Structure 1
Amino acid sequence: MTVSIRALLGACALGALATTAAAETTITVATVNNGDMVRMQSYMDDFYKMHPDIKVEWVTLEENILRQKVTTDIATKGGQFDVLTIGTYEVPIWGKQGWLVPLNDMPADYDVDDLLPAIRSGLTVDGNLYAAPFYGESSFVMYRKDLMEKAGLTMPDKPTWADITKAAEAMTDKDNGIYGICLRGKAGWGENMAFLSAMDNSMGGSWFNMDWQPQFDTAPWNETLTTYLDLMTKYGPPGASSNGFNENLALFQQGKCGMWMDATVAASFVTNPKDSTVADKVGFALAPNKEGIDKRANWLWAWTLGIPAGTKNEAAAKTFVEWATSKHYTELVAAKEGWANVPPGTRTSLYENPEYLKAAPFAQMTLESINAADPTHPSVMDVPYTGVQFVAIPEFQAIATAVGQQFSAALAGQMSADQALQSAQSLTEREMKKAGYIK
């Protein structure tokens, strides 16, 4: 009898352990090594307190590598990840293909209607929200107010490329390790080509005309690339062809850049005295335009969290996405890091919050830049595509990365601007013919 009871108790204990093990779900999140995403990983105690039955494993990668891995995984149904950090480019394309789980059933307190319309619309296909924005951004100019003052210049709120060139020259002091301007040079469709595509819009250009013919042999692209190379070779840091967002952020924080035009999300990092040696010296201006052209070089992007269709852990993945992109998470960051450091650019309520507006001197210019970007009319020319710093077609990722390699090589002095543009034109024509857009 005693043995039977012990056996029964043992069986019950094993059953309880099995139930506990089954109840704990492990999800794998693929994310980018940007500051906001790295910070989120340090706040997981809050998530586990609310959801002790879910364990999160992280795969944190450099931007170009992340894009390659998540694209391969979702296209091949590899099932390696349960949550993907993806952007405004991938979401509508993948959503239309049925590769992502719709997020139409977020709880009422998530407040989907609070998402900024410009950001939400870029993540919605046929009325379905396919990803939740972790942070949203446009682009603008960050500059050293002290160096501008020393040079006897004032940065306009709405500068032209001529203003930028003049300021870059005046602030450059290479003997003391200060470069007038830092811009993306690392090859990649989301690295140097994000910047250069937006810059080309501001010069009056476009990627394609209405017949899908590439436009690298036109005057605007010539002016874009030659102006960019001129700025970077005369006033930029050495080795710029290897610099992306994170490298330029470090340079600016170390006081080595007079100006940096990049994502608005960088503003909280360059004004945080814990990380930036020039935190109290930073001013902000809208992305520039060419005089007479009614488009600025500001893009529109959101890093978002999406769930691949077919994941075996959909419920747990949704729970994590809801937490990471909620008002609660914003308030958590504010409590720990201060309001200036919360993930920006996703919710209307943030830009109506007096505490945030007081703490973040860049808030209004960020919102103005986001609202000014128009993915449906990225160029002053009529174009057959949507997307500001990208073209929302599946082929763009590979084409723009190849073009970015040509332009990065030109920045490294391996070829001329004309050679890079000719190469970009021919390779883009070849791929567009292969894909059936042109004959």
Structure 2
Amino acid sequence: MNSATRRVISVTSAITVMMLLIVLISGCSQATQGSAGGTQSKKLSETITVLAEKHPWTTAIQPYIPEFEKQTGIKVNLNILSEQQQRAKSLMTLQAKSPDIDVFMSLKSLEGLAYEKAGFYESLDKYIKDPTLTPADYKINDFMKGPYDGERIEGKLVGIPIIVEGPVIFYRKDLFAEYNIPIPKTLNDLVAAAKTVEQKSNGHVYGIALRGLPPAVCYDFGPFFHNMGLEWLDKNGSLNFDKPGAVTAINTYCTLAAKYGPPGAVNNNFYQDSSLFAQGKVAMELDSSNELASIIDPSNSKVIGKIGVFAIPAGPGGNHPTVLQWGISMSAYSQHKDAAWKFIRWATSPEMQLKLALKGIASPRASTWDNAKFKASLKSTVKKEWAKTLEFILKNGNPEVGPPAVKEAEVRQVIGNNIDQVILGSETPQAAANKIQQQAMEVIK
């Protein structure tokens, strides 16, 4: 078997494993359809399907979609699923080379390499370079370098960034004041703060909510690992879970979840974390900066006016938060590529990015952060703290959410599974580190 054949088989196997992995953790869900009204255009009956996940960006942009339909005459069929279900559906549809999806949300730090090698993404370079398709007022150079470069895989532009984010700590200012808890400066301080809340509230308020759902653990756990002074991989491409700092990182994270987190933490993702925090059941939430919009929503939150934001504290190896961008991509198998590009261009335009930023969506465009209207929208204390924390993440963040690999989803699952065993008390941090080192390296190889 020649090397080219082996590469094809390797990529195909990676995609297949990713699909099976995601399907196992996915259930059935009903799609949510967006508005389909609009005025006539040259393509009166053209409809595009946009596959999105239940995400703050989706919630923020959905009310504006009728404007796009009216401007272009293009109808948008917006399908919204949970993160795992959305990824499972996109993967299966793309593997089948089906034209059923035109535009889809994609996390390049997770599936980007595998999807690109499989030929799933339509290259957007030709659309960007054609002035008849992308006028100058789109301002492509306005995108910040990190998020924009993050949408380029092996030299090809495969998406446009829609949001930047990183894990932060949302906290209850009123409880911290009542219990005389200072803002944590170290990871040990963070554990102490969570412990104090539980003790002084007599267990009525949990200390912290963080991710325990196995595929999602790396997002929150990464800063604990990096703040021990560790990269996921050493210079030879081997995992660093055999280093002493890895055991400390696992122990710290699992102590927070097991001792000071809510019951069932191993099943929680961002949605559950934010719901618990918004209902006043936890004093801290360690999750995406994107969750600000959810926890200050008057229709859902009981803690409005009591919220503060700070960066995940430093460890012995410094402070290295996770930073990433989500993007929207075009399917290589779309039969409505011009219409799909019009939607992508509209959704990521300077004007729309500003509108979404005013709703709490962190923009990948530099002009948004410099905009006077946006700055004025940050007059509340919580929004100022949010913006300051996010600025720190953008300047100091590590873009690797998990160990980089073609089979990255499977590697993250291995890490999450073993960390969950520690949270459940079935494994020691040392045993988990040993198993991650062995099992994940078998996947990476």
Deviation at 1:76, TM superposition (A): 4.4
Q: Does 1:100 align with 2:95?
A: no
CA RMSD of aligned residues (A): 2.4
1:113 is matched with 141
Contiguous gaps of at least 5 residues in structure 1 = 1-18, 376-387, 434-439
Task: Give the aligned residue type for 1:281.
Answer: K
Deviation digits for residues 373-405 of structure 1 (CA, Å, limit 9, x no counterpart): 143xxxxxxxxxxxx212332111112113312
Q: Does 1:364 align with 2:388?
A: yes
Where in structure 2 are the equivalents of 1:84-233 lying within 5 Å?
Answer: 84-89=104-109, 90-91=111-112, 94-95=115-116, 98-104=119-125, 105=128, 106-125=134-153, 128-155=156-183, 159-172=185-198, 175=202, 177-188=204-215, 191-233=216-258
Q: Does 1:46 align with 2:60?
A: no
Contact 2:194–2:256 (8 Å) recurs in 1 = yes
User: Which among 91, 99, 123 is matched to residue 71 of structure 1?
Assistant: 91
**Larger gyration radius, structure 1 or structure 2:** 1
Task: Give the aligned residue type for 1:275.
Answer: N
Contact 1:92–1:124 (8 Å) recurs in 2 = no
Task: Give the aligned residue type for 1:270.
Answer: I
**Distance of aligned partners of 1:269 and 1:183 in 2 relative to their CA distance in 1, 3 Å threshold:** same
Residues in 2 aligned to 1:59 and 1:225: alpha-carbon distance in whole angstroms: 37
Residues in 2 aligned to 1:63 and 1:147: alpha-carbon distance in whole angstroms: 32
Contact 1:91–1:131 (8 Å) recurs in 2 = no
Residues in 1 aligned to 2:349 and 2:175: alpha-carbon distance in whole angstroms: 39
Residues in 1 aligned to 2:43 and 2:147: alpha-carbon distance in whole angstroms: 37
Partner secondary structure for residue 74 of structure 1: helix
Where in structure 2 are the equivalents of 1:177-326 lying within 5 Å?
Answer: 177-188=204-215, 191-291=216-316, 293-296=317-320, 298-326=321-349
Contact 2:162–2:327 (8 Å) recurs in 1 = yes
Q: Does 1:349 align with 2:349?
A: no
Deviation digits for residues 45-78 of structure 1 (CA, Å, limit 9, x no counterpart): 11111111x2221221211222233234334423
Contact 1:137–1:345 (8 Å) recurs in 2 = no
Deviation at 1:176, TM superposition (A): 5.7
Task: Give the aligned residue type for 1:182.
Answer: A
Residues in 1 aligned to 2:107 and 2:391: alpha-carbon distance in whole angstroms: 18
Between 115-124 and 166-175, the greater mean CA deviation after superposition: 166-175
**Distance of aligned partners of 1:430 and 1:124 in 2 relative to their CA distance in 1, 3 Å threshold:** closer
Deviation digits for residues 356-380 of structure 1 (CA, Å, limit 9, x no counterpart): 22323222321221221143xxxxx
Q: Does 1:34 align with 2:60?
A: no
**Distance of aligned partners of 1:391 and 1:429 in 2 relative to their CA distance in 1, 3 Å threshold:** closer
Deviation at 1:95, TM superposition (A): 4.3
Residues in 1 aligned to 2:206 and 2:427: alpha-carbon distance in whole angstroms: 23
Matched residues, percent identical?
Answer: 25
Deviation at 1:227, TM superposition (A): 0.9
Contact 2:233–2:403 (8 Å) recurs in 1 = no
Residues in 1 aligned to 2:85 and 2:431: alpha-carbon distance in whole angstroms: 27
Between 19-28 and 396-405, the greater mean CA deviation after superposition: 19-28
Partner secondary structure for residue 279 of structure 1: coil
Deviation at 1:98, TM superposition (A): 4.5
TM-score (norm 2): 0.81
Contact 1:215–1:221 (8 Å) recurs in 2 = yes
Partner secondary structure for residue 289 of structure 1: coil
Partner secondary structure for residue 233 of structure 2: coil
1:14 is matched with none
Contiguous gaps of at least 5 residues in structure 2 = 1-39, 129-133, 379-383
Deviation at 1:200, TM superposition (A): 0.5
Residues in 2 aligned to 1:428 and 1:127: alpha-carbon distance in whole angstroms: 27
Deviation at 1:195, TM superposition (A): 1.5
Deviation digits for residues 318-365 of structure 1 (CA, Å, limit 9, x no counterpart): 11111122223245457xxxx2x1421311112112332232322232
Contact 2:47–2:76 (8 Å) recurs in 1 = yes
Partner secondary structure for residue 77 of structure 2: strand
**Distance of aligned partners of 1:118 and 1:359 in 2 relative to their CA distance in 1, 3 Å threshold:** same
TM-score (norm 1): 0.82
Residues in 2 aligned to 1:138 and 1:180: alpha-carbon distance in whole angstroms: 21
Partner secondary structure for residue 411 of structure 2: helix
Q: Which runs of 4+ in 1 moved over 4 A?
A: 19-22, 95-98, 125-128, 173-176, 331-334
Contact 2:170–2:284 (8 Å) recurs in 1 = yes
Partner secondary structure for residue 308 of structure 2: strand
**Distance of aligned partners of 1:287 and 1:86 in 2 relative to their CA distance in 1, 3 Å threshold:** same
Residues in 1 aligned to 2:82 and 2:48: alpha-carbon distance in whole angstroms: 20
Task: Give the aligned residue type for 2:251.
Answer: T
**Distance of aligned partners of 1:403 and 1:80 in 2 relative to their CA distance in 1, 3 Å threshold:** farther
Partner secondary structure for residue 305 of structure 2: helix
Residues in 1 aligned to 2:398 and 2:267: alpha-carbon distance in whole angstroms: 30
Residues in 2 aligned to 1:278 and 1:231: alpha-carbon distance in whole angstroms: 22
Partner secondary structure for residue 328 of structure 2: strand
1:381 is matched with none
State how many pairs are aligned. Answer: 391
**Distance of aligned partners of 1:59 and 1:409 in 2 relative to their CA distance in 1, 3 Å threshold:** farther
User: Which among 103, 121, 136 is matched to residue 83 of structure 1?
Assistant: 103
Deviation at 1:175, TM superposition (A): 4.2
Contact 2:228–2:318 (8 Å) recurs in 1 = no
